[in-house]
């Protein structure tokens, strides 16, 4: 019986191997070359979106996306979407077919009031930050990619100076923004303010940097982490605890990578010796909005 089982397993494995070979031989050449690779997209001043070859920088595929220059591209990998914006204040949503000759197909297009400064997509939501220095308006708007509705931010909750950073945390449906008004702001997917953290310097950028929703801020020449308990309300903290994350290298465990400081150039060693951690956690002052 055991021998019979092993023989049958061998038949199954051989059939799977032959099927993979058959699919490989019938694949599109572009698909075979790009299988397992990340995609590199670029926007041009002539309004084209270009799929760029990783190795030689040549254009594998291009499509006329906008009448004006392409100013920004965002991706929504969970929905296989690419979002592009142009100087004509037009935003296009594209469906991405990564392993085909016609890689991009236009899904929808809409116009906004000013040219986007930052964009980030998170599943069914697209968040766009616009810095209008002439009007003194620094707005943050959420767009539903399924219902085609817009959640406009309220002026009293908006940044009072230019928005410099924008990112999303899809698992909790949160968005984060920072600006030259020395604030870090957390938003719901319906554009309601959740928390405002007052900083003692103006951040130049931010990113959700871990599965646990910690935020990394760029402050001058340093990176600083805002832990999740600083800004996430208690109900969402309980929800975060219940989320199952993929297994990986635990935080604080050895990465198997060390650097001998003596082997570094003098200027690099000097930068490490001058690292200043003066901006500590106590410098963040949280304030829950009334909503």
Cβ atoms of 68 and 86 within 8 Å: the answer is: yes
Q: How far is Cα 279 from Cα 222, in angstroms, rounded to an integer?
A: 9
HEC secondary structure over 125-154: EEEEEEEECCCCEEEEEEEECCCCCEEECC
C-alpha 149/C-alpha 105 separation (Å) is 21
Alpha carbons 190 and 204: distance in angstroms, whole number = 25
Measured distance CA(276)–CA(77) in Å, rounded:
37
The pLDDT of residue 158 is above 50: yes
Higher pLDDT, 88 or 238: 88
34-55 core/surface letters (b: 16 or more CB in 10 A; e: else): beeeebebebeeebbbbbbeee
Structure token pair of residue 112: 């906004």
What confidence tier does 100 reach under pLDDT thresholds 50, 70, 90?
A: confident
- Region 263-269: mean pLDDT is 72
Q: What is the pLDDT of residues 204-234, one digit of tens each?
A: 999 998 888 899 999 988 899 999 988 988 8
DSSP annotation string for 151-198? EEPPGGGS-SS-EEEEEEEGGGTEEEEEETTTEEEEEETTS-EEEEEE
Q: List the one residue out of 213, 176, 217, 177 whose CA is nearest residue 200.
A: 217
Provide the pLDDT for residue 9: 57
- As given in the structure block, the two tokens for residue 227 are 């832990």
The pLDDT of residue 235: 81
Residue 290: both structure tokens together: 């009334």
pLDDT of res. 203: 94
Asked whether residue 132 carries a pLDDT value surpassing 60, the answer given is yes
Which pLDDT belongs to residue 291? 43
Q: What is the structure's pLDDT at 283?
A: 43
pLDDT band at 192 (very low <50, low <70, confident <90, very high): very high
Of 274, 81, 271, 242, nearest to 172 by C-alpha is 242
Burial of 122 (0-12, 13-18, 19+ CB in 10 A): buried
**Strand, helix or coil for residue 24:** helix
Band the pLDDT of 247: cuts 50, 70, 90: low
pLDDT band at 175 (very low <50, low <70, confident <90, very high): very high
Average pLDDT score, the chain: 79
Q: What is the pLDDT of residues 30-56, one digit of tens each?
A: 444 445 567 888 899 999 998 888 778
Q: What is the pTM of this model?
A: 0.69
**Tokens 């002026």 sit at which residue?**
155
Dump pLDDT digits (tens) for 193-210.
999 999 999 999 999 988
Q: Is the pLDDT of residue 176 over 80?
A: yes
d(CA 282, CA 123): 34
- pLDDT for residue 227: 92
**Residue 160 and residue 121: Cα distance in Å, rounded?**
23
Where is pLDDT greater, at 187 or 21? 187
∠ CA 257-263-266, rounded to 5°: 125
pLDDT band at 272 (very low <50, low <70, confident <90, very high): low
Contact (CB, 8 A) for 184 and 170? no
Q: What is the pLDDT of residue 211?
A: 84
Whole-number pLDDT of residue 202: 94
Tokens of 221: 């020449």
pLDDT above 90: percentage of residues in the chain: 36
* C-alpha separations of 186 from 79, 198, 203 in Å: 23, 12, 14
What does the alpha-carbon distance between residue 11 and residue 220 come to, in Å, rounded to a whole number? 62
Q: 237 pLDDT band (50/70/90 cuts)?
A: confident
pLDDT in tens, 63-89: 899 998 999 999 888 888 999 999 888
């Amino acid at each position: 019986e055991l021998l019979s089982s092993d023989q049958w397993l061998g038949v199954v494995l051989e059939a799977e191997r032959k099927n993979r070979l058959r699919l490989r031989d019938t694949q599109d050449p572009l698909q075979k070359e790009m299988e397992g690779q990340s995609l590199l997209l670029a926007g041009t001043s002539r309004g084209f979106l270009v799929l760029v070859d990783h190795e030689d920088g040549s254009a594998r595929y291009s499509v006329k996306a906008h009448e004006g220059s392409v100013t920004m591209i965002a991706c929504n990998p969970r929905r296989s979407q690419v979002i592009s914006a142009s100087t004509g204040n037009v935003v296009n949503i594209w469906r991405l077919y990564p392993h085909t000759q016609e890689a991009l197909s236009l899904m929808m297009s809409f116009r906004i009031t000013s040219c986007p400064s930052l964009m980030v997509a998170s599943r069914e939501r697209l968040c766009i930050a616009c810095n209008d220095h002439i009007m003194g308006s620094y707005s943050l708007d959420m767009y539903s990619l399924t219902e085609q509705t817009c959640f406009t931010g309220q002026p009293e909750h908006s940044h009072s100076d230019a928005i410099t950073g924008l990112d999303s945390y899809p698992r909790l449906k949160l968005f984060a923004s920072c600006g030259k008004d020395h604030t870090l702001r957390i938003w719901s997917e319906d554009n309601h303010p959740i928390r405002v953290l007052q900083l003692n310097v103006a951040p130049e950028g931010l990113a959700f940097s871990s599965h646990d929703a910690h935020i990394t801020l760029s402050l001058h020449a340093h990176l600083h982490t805002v832990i999740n308990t600083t800004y996430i309300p208690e109900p969402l903290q309980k929800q975060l605890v219940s989320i199952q994350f993929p297994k990986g290298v635990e935080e604080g465990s050895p990465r198997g990578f060390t650097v001998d400081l003596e082997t570094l150039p003098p200027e690099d060693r000097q930068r490490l010796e001058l690292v200043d951690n003066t901006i500590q956690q106590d410098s963040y002052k949280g304030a829950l909005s009334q909503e």
